Amino acid sequence: MSSIGKLMKQAARMQQQMEQIQAQLAARTVEATSGGGAVKVVAKCDGSLASVKIDPQALNPSDAQLLEDMIVTAANQALGQAKDIANAEMGKVTSGLNLPGLG
């Protein structure tokens, strides 16, 4: 088989592996909390949010800004964890490749 044929076969196999990993990441979740657990955010490893839970005791209208900040903090932490997991999983597929632009 020619080297271009081997490369095409390898690329097709890698694409299939990446699609499988993306499907697994869409089902995998991480969670983060802030405010001592007053806010809990669950994110999927595909980069989307799955849920936000707020302790009813944190629902004080005079502290709305604090609650908003806690939600943003927890969401950013969960999405950061999800991104790290996704990058690690995708890196497993592309490791060992020495192609320009895929480093």
Would you say residue 16 lies in a domain?
yes
Would you say residue 30 lies in a domain?
yes
Question: Is 57 buried (19+), middle (13-18) or exposed (0-12) by CB count in 10 A?
Answer: exposed
Query: What are the E-state strand segments in the chain?
Result: 29-34, 39-44, 49-54
Would you say residue 87 lies in a domain?
yes
Q: Are strands 49-54 and 29-34 parallel, antiparallel or unpaired?
A: unpaired
pLDDT tens readout for residues 52-100: 999 999 898 898 999 999 999 999 999 999 999 999 988 887 776 655 5
Would you say residue 33 lies in a domain?
yes
Return the H-helix or E-strand segment holding 28: none
Q: Please tell me the predicted confidence (pLDDT) of residue 96.
A: 62
Residues 6+ apart with CB under 8 A from 58: 35, 38, 39, 67, 70
Q: Is the pLDDT of residue 8 over 90?
A: no
Q: How many domains does the chain have?
A: 1
Would you say residue 102 lies in a domain?
no
Token output for 45: 């490893």
Which residues span the domain enclosing 72? 3-94
CATH code at position 90? 3.30.1310.10
